[in-house]
A and B are shown apart, each in its own frame.
Chain A
Amino acid sequence: MSNEMTGAEMVVKALAEQGVKHLFGYPGGAVLPIYDALFQQKELQHILVRHEQGAVHAAEGYARSSGKVGAVLVTSGPGATNAVTGLVDALMDSIPIVVITGQVPTHLIGNDAFQECDTVGITRPCTKHNYLVKDVNDLSRILHEAFYIAGSGRPGPVVVDIPKDIQFAKGKYTSAKNVQHKSYKPKLKGDMAKIQAAVELMKNAKRPVFYTGGGIINSGNEASVLLRELAKLTGYPITSTLMGLGAYPAADPQWLGMLGMHGTYEANWAMHDCDVMICIGARFDDRITGRLDAFAPHSKKIHVDIDASSINKNVKVDIPIIGDCAHVLEDMVRLWRTSSAQPDKKALADWWTQINKWRARKSLNYTKSSDVIKPQYAVERLYELTKDRDTYITTEVGQHQMWAAQHLHFQEPRRWMTSGGLGTMGYGLPAAVGVQLAHPKSLVIDVAGEASVLMTMQEISTAVQFNLPVKVFILNNEYMGMVRQWQELLHGGRYSESYSEALPDFVKLAEAYHAVGIRCSKPGELDDAIKEMINVDKPVIFDCLVDKAENCFPMIPSGRAHNEMILGDAAESIGEAVTEEGKMLV
C-alpha cells in the first residue's frame, strides 16, 4: 500500500501537510530516525537552535507574528526538559505550538534508560494537551489532532512524545482531512441573549471603557478590524493589556495606552472610575487588577472569552459571554447598529473631559538628560526611527520590556511579541529568530536588557547561521533593573545580587559570533547608531549604555488600587506607598 511508511516519515509528511515550513529543533539519540527523514526531503526547513528553550521561544515568535502553529522537534530527556520553560510560556500566553519530543524505545520506558524522562508526566501541567504515541498507526492521527488542538479554541502548546521504535516502525498514514477530534470542539458563537444584554448595557453607559487583551490578537486579524469598528461606532475609550497591544492603533485618539501595574495614568483611572467595563479577550490578571476589592468598584462588567474558566476566576462579572472574540464582536457591531437606543452624549462628553484631564498628567514623562541616555529616550528614538518601516518587536522581561510597551506605539496586531504571563527572561532573542523567519524582509528588533539576553545569548549563533538579521537592542544599565527597582522600593535599597557583575563586552561578543556589535553611550550619537543598526543586513547586538538608576514609572504599588498609582515625578513617596501586606506580593 502506498500510504505505508515509517513513523519518522509520517512525522515529516504530517508536518508538511499541516503547512509547516520551518521546524525549530535540536537533534539527539531518540529523534535520529526523524532527523534522517528530514535529511531526505526538501519541503521543511530545519532551523538548528543552540538550546531547546530557544527552539520553543523561536516557534512562539513564529506563531505569534504569523498566526500559524509553530513546530518544534527535540530529543528525549534533557531535550524535553529544556523545552519546558517554553511550553509554560506558551501555555500562559496562549500561543499555538506543537512540540515533538523523542522518547526512548517503548520497551525501555520506565527503566531509567539513558536520556529517559517522563515527558508526558512532566509536561502535563505545562501543555494544553499531550500525547505518548504507543502505536505507529495512531501517529499521524495524533499529529493532526495536535495541530488542531494547539490552534483552535484558546490556543496553547501540545506535546507529542514519540518513542524511537515507533519512529522506525512501519504503519498506515492518515491524512489530515480524515481526522476529526471526537471531544474537543470549542464554542465560537456567543450566546445571543447575553450579547444583546451587553449591547444594551453599553448603550446606557455613562463612563464606559473597553479593556482588551491578547484574545483579540489570537482570534485573528478580523477581530482587530471589528474591534476598531466597534470602538468607532461607540466612541468609547479603549485600553489594553500588555498582550493585546497593537489590536487597536495607538495613534487613535480613543486609545488610552496600556493599563495595569506600569500602565498609563489615564488608562488606570478610567478603569477605576468606569461604570461599564467591556472586557474582550483578557483575563483580569493580577498585574491588571491590582487590589481586587478596589478594582473598578462602581462598574458593571461584560467579559468576552473563549475559555469559560477565565470567566469569574478573579473578578465576578455581570455579563459573561463565552465565545471567540471575532464572532462576538461581529454580533456586537451588528446589534449596536440595529438597536435604536442612543448613548448619553452629555455623559460621554463629561467622561472624555475627565479622561483628558488624566491624560494631561502625561504619566509617561521622564527627566530628560543631555549627557546620559535615558532608557525611555532610547526606546523613543528607536520608535521614531523605525515607525515608518515594516517592524516587529520582541522583548525580554523587566524594565526594558515595560518601557518598550509604554514608548513603542503599535498600530497593527502581531507586531509585538513579549512574554507576558510567565515573564520569561531570555524570551526575546530566540523569539526574534522565529519572527524573522516568518517575515524575512521585515525589521525585527529584540528590545533587551543585558541580564535577560545573556540567558539565551547563544541563539545569536542561530541567527548568524541562517542569515537572520535580527537586531538585539540592549538597554544596558548593568542591573537586573526591575529586581533593583523593587529592592529600592521595598527592601531599603539593599541590592542583593541584582548587579550584573563581570558583563561581557557585547561588541566583542557580537564579533565573536560573526555578528555586528555597536555601542552607544551618548544621547547625541544615538540616532546615528540606531540608523547604522537598521541598515546593517546582519544580526546586530546594540549595546546601549543607559542611566543605571532609572526606575520604571508610572507604577501601581503591590496591593494598591488603580487610583493609587505613583508617577515618576512623585516617586519619593513610593517607599511608604507599599504596605506590609503589599510586600508579600510579587
Chain B
Amino acid sequence: MNMAVIPTTTHYPSPQTDEREQRRTLSVLVDNEPGVLARVIGLFSGRGYNIDSLTVSETEHEKHLSRITVATTGKPMVIEQIKHQLERLVPVHRVVDLTESGRALERELALVKVAGKGEARVEALRLADAFRACVIDATTESFIFELTGKSDKIDQFLILMEPLGLIECSRTGIAAIARGPEGM
C-alpha cells in the first residue's frame, strides 16, 4: 500500500504553485454497514491520499450511524477533492472539516508500557503523574499507563518514556468534535 505517497509530478505537468500542504481533521458520518470502512480506506489508498490517523466507532446505535475521524495532509485542492470524494460515497451522510471550522477539540488515548527498575521506574511514575496518566496495570518491573490528550502531548510523553524503558504503546487515533451547542 502506498497510502503515504503523494506523487510529486502529475501525469501531465501542472502549474507550479506555492501552495503548502495542510493538515486537516475530517469528521465523516456514515451508515454503520459492512464494508463502509473499507470504502473509505480504499478511497484514500486508491487515489493516493494520506491517512495520518483514522478512528471509527458506532456513535448512534438506533440510527446505525458511525463516525469516522480521519486526519489527513494535502494541498488545498487535494483536501477539497478528499472531502468531495468522501461525500460521493453512498453510505456517507456528512463530511465536516473540523480544522476549517477552527472550533474543534481533538483527543487521543494511549496505553503505554514501560519496564524498568530503580530510579528510572520512579522517574517514569513521576512523569506519568505530571502528564495525568494513570496506572492501569503494574508488576514489580513494569507499568502500563493510560493517557489521554492531544496527539502532541502523547508524542511528548512517549519521547520522555523512551530512555526510561518504553516497551510499546497502543494509540486509538484522534477523536474530534466541534465546540458549541450544534451537532454535525
A124 touches B38 (CB 8 A): yes
Is A311 part of the contact surface with B, judged by Cβ < 8 Å? Answer: yes
The contact of B90 among A121, A183, A312, by CB within 8 Å, is A183
Given A149-B90, A308-B87, residue A124 in contact with residue B39 (CB < 8 A): yes
Interface residue ranges of A11-56 to B (CB < 8 Å): none
Is A128 part of the contact surface with B, judged by Cβ < 8 Å? Answer: yes
- Interface size classification for chain A: 20 to 34
A183 touches B93 (CB 8 A): yes
* Distance between Cα atoms of A315 and B131 in the complex (Å): 48
Is B118 part of the contact surface with A, judged by Cβ < 8 Å? Answer: no
- Interface size classification for chain B: 20 to 34
* Distance between Cα atoms of A286 and B12 in the complex (Å): 8
* Distance between Cα atoms of A4 and B92 in the complex (Å): 32
Q: Which of the candidate stretches B78-86, B142-150, B158-166, B172-180 sits at the interface with the other chain?
A: B78-86
Chain B contacts of A319 at CB under 8 A?
A: none
A125 touches B46 (CB 8 A): yes
Interface residue ranges of B17-75 to A (CB < 8 Å): 31, 34-35, 38-39, 42, 46
Is A441 part of the contact surface with B, judged by Cβ < 8 Å? Answer: no
Given A124-B42, A291-B12, residue A184 in contact with residue B35 (CB < 8 A): no
B81 touches A312 (CB 8 A): yes
B31 touches A124 (CB 8 A): no
Chain B contacts of A316 at CB under 8 A?
A: 77
* Distance between Cα atoms of A130 and B33 in the complex (Å): 12
Given A120-B35, A121-B38, A184-B90, residue A292 in contact with residue B15 (CB < 8 A): yes
Q: How many A-B residue pairs have CB under 8 A?
A: 64
* Distance between Cα atoms of A129 and B30 in the complex (Å): 14
Expressed in whole angstroms, the minimum distance between the Cβ of B13 and any Cβ of chain A is: 6
Expressed in whole angstroms, the minimum distance between the Cβ of A287 and any Cβ of chain B is: 10
B84 touches A559 (CB 8 A): no
Expressed in whole angstroms, the minimum distance between the Cβ of A299 and any Cβ of chain B is: 14
Chain B contacts of A125 at CB under 8 A?
A: 42, 46
Chain A contacts of B10 at CB under 8 A?
A: 292
Chain B contacts of A134 at CB under 8 A?
A: 34
Q: Mark A280-323, 1 if CB is under 8 A from B, else 0.
A: 00000010011111000000000000011101110010000000
The contact of A312 among B46, B80, B93, by CB within 8 Å, is B80
* Distance between Cα atoms of A558 and B85 in the complex (Å): 28
A585 touches B12 (CB 8 A): yes
Give the residue name and chain of the A residue nearest to B34 (CB). Answer: A132
A309 touches B84 (CB 8 A): yes
Give the residue name and chain of the A residue nearest to B15 (CB). Answer: A293
Chain A contacts of B13 at CB under 8 A?
A: 291-293, 559, 581
B90 touches A309 (CB 8 A): no
Chain B contacts of A345 at CB under 8 A?
A: none
Chain B contacts of A289 at CB under 8 A?
A: 12
Is A182 part of the contact surface with B, judged by Cβ < 8 Å? Answer: yes
Show 5 A/B contacts (Cβ-Cβ < 8 Å), sorted by A.
A291-B13, A292-B14, A559-B12, A559-B13, A585-B11
List the 9 closest pairs (A to B, CB-CB), nearest first: A309-B84, A129-B90, A293-B15, A308-B84, A292-B14, A183-B93, A309-B85, A292-B12, A184-B90
